[in-house]
Amino acid sequence: MNPSPLTILVLYYSRHGATRKLAELIAQGIESVPGAEARLRTVPAVSTVSEAVEPDIPAGGAPYVELQDLHECAGLALGSPTRFGNMAAAMKYFLDGTAAEWLAGTLSGKPAAVFTSTGSLHGGQEATLLSMMIPLLHHGMLIMGLPYAHPELMNTASGGSPYGATHWAGIDGDKAITEDEKRLAIAQGRRLAEAAAKLQAPSQPPLHGPR
């Protein structure tokens, strides 16, 4: 019997597709780890018009996230475009609805990573990443970044941060993901899945018995 796959939730909000592309690369990195699978999910947009209702199924891209996805995942990659140096309202709205999971410790002890895209090079990439870390820390998650062991962090002239994968999409969203950004996103997914696998592994007995 094959063991159950290790499910890593890749949860993102993307308005014009740039953050979605990063999410897909992170998912690629996750699935490069044997036994791991990525579960891509998104959140519906929010509206200032109270009567506005999103369809139950998005027109394109990943399905909408359900709270059960948080229970079933072994790790979480959270992504959002920046909104004035903060995560988008749609992602914040979803996270604000996870109080029951917070009380139950559903995500506590699980590894997490964050990623973002911005229209301008200095558009608040790292501030946005930090804003997404805060609720994850309240949930008791173990935040993972990208170490400088990845040489792309020293070479990149666009996105890429030790706090998480990023992409400089341009004001019109017309900038393609660079090779450095791509490698960092894939590496982040791989590191997240590897960490989740280690945390899920049964503990090894000590080399020597109790004294």
Query: What does the pLDDT profile of the chain (211 residues) look like in tens digits?
Result: 456 789 999 999 998 889 999 999 999 999 999 999 999 999 999 876 655 566 666 766 799 999 999 999 999 999 999 999 999 999 999 999 999 999 999 999 999 999 999 999 888 999 999 999 999 999 999 999 999 999 999 999 899 999 999 999 988 888 999 999 999 999 999 999 999 999 987 765 555 544 4
Residue 187, CA distances (Å) to 146, 148, 163, 165, 169 in order: 8, 12, 13, 9, 20
Pairing of strands 142-143, 36-42: unpaired
* Structure-token match 């229209």, residue found: 119
pTM: predicted TM-score of the whole model, two decimal places? 0.90
Which residues, at least 6 apart from 34, have a Cβ–Cβ distance to it below 8 Å? none
Which residues, at least 6 apart from 15, have a Cβ–Cβ distance to it below 8 Å? 45, 81, 88
The whole-angstrom separation of Cα 21 and Cα 42 is: 12
Among residues 27, 49, 58, 55, which one has the least CA distance to residue 188?
27
- What b/e readout covers 53-91, taking b as 16+ CB neighbours within 10 angstroms? eeeeeeeeebebbeeebbeebbbbbbbbbbbeebbbbbb
DSSP state of 119: S
For the chain, the C-alpha Rg in angstroms (whole number) is 17
